[in-house]
Structure 1
Amino acid sequence: MDEAPDPRYLLANERTLLAYERTAIGLVVAAVGALNLLEGTWPNVALGVALLLASGMTAVVGWHRYRQAERAIRSGTDLPTGIGVQAVVLAVIAIIVVAALTVLV
């Protein structure tokens, strides 16, 4: 591609990365709260660990998607597809199930 990409696309891509990272930070805060404020029963520990794992996955998926979109924007090609976003959604659903178990047990 001969011309420079539109800065609006690059800035939108950066905002999307920051949204992923903000979500990951929120999940870490929730994990710290679950591990430190709830009783040490196995469902509560499982909830804290699940939140930590989801946080790490969200941060990695966000960074990976950012890099993919950056390359596509700069080369003028279509944005690649992937299963990262779906994996993050499934992780959040799993956390909801684990949280429900902590309430029921």
Structure 2
Amino acid sequence: MLSSVRTWLDPSENHRLGERPDYRFSLANERTFLAWLRTGLALIGGGLAVAQFLSGGLARDVLALVLLALGGLVAVRALDHWARCERAIRRGAELPPSRFPAVLALLVTFGAGALLAMVLAGAVGR
């Protein structure tokens, strides 16, 4: 675990592995990382919006906290996936598989359903 964190914070670790890849692959990996960061920021923004604009109550607080936590989780997962992909690219290995996009899509769908239920129940706009 500690070695993973070190590779997150010290990119020179990756430069000592394998061969120098075509820079386009590294840049594509970085763009994917930035897209995941935007997703995490959007979830955090959604959590703040839920906390600010929905009527008070336990459901609002739980939904806001879930969105905020999920946004933070997406950011950490993005960093880990970026580092693992960068290592694989430099080694000429297969890219690491990830179930996280599917899990995230299901969680976002669940969150959208919860928000829809709250809107239909009249929790918004009061």
Q: TM-score, normalised by structure 2?
A: 0.74
Structure having the higher helix fraction is 1
Indicate the residue corresponding to 2:44 in structure 1. 28
Q: Contact (CA 8 Å) 1:43, 1:101: kept in 2 or not?
A: no
**2:28 match:** 12
Ranges of 4+ aligned residues in structure 1 off by more than 6 Å: none
Q: Is 1:50 aligned with 2:66?
A: yes
Residue pair 2:19, 2:90 contacting (<8 A) in 1 also: no
Q: Residues 2 and 24 from structure 1, CA distance in 2 versus in 1: closer, same or farther, beyond 3 angstroms?
A: closer
Letter in 1 for 2:110: A
Q: Is the 8 A contact 2:18 2:91 kept in 1?
A: no
> 1:43 deviation in Å?
2.3
Q: Which of structures 1 and 2 has the bigger CA Rg?
A: 2
1:37 corresponds, among 29, 40, 53, to 53
Name the CA distance, whole Å, in 2 between partners of 1:45 and 1:72. 40
3-state DSSP class of the match of 1:69?
A: helix
Find the counterpart in structure 2 of residue 74 from structure 1. 90
- Structure-to-structure mapping, 1:90-101, within 5 angstroms: 90-101=106-117
Asked if the contact 2:37–2:74 (Cα under 8 Å) also holds between the matched residues in 1, the reply is yes
Runs of at least 5 residues in structure 2 that lack an aligned partner in the other structure: 1-16, 122-126
Q: CA RMSD in A?
A: 1.7
Percent of residue pairs identical: 33
CA distance, structure 2, for counterparts of residue 45 and residue 15 of structure 1: 33
Count matched residues.
105
Whichever residue aligns with residue 98 of structure 1, its letter is A
Distance 1:100 1:75, change over 3 A: same
Aligned to 2:11: none
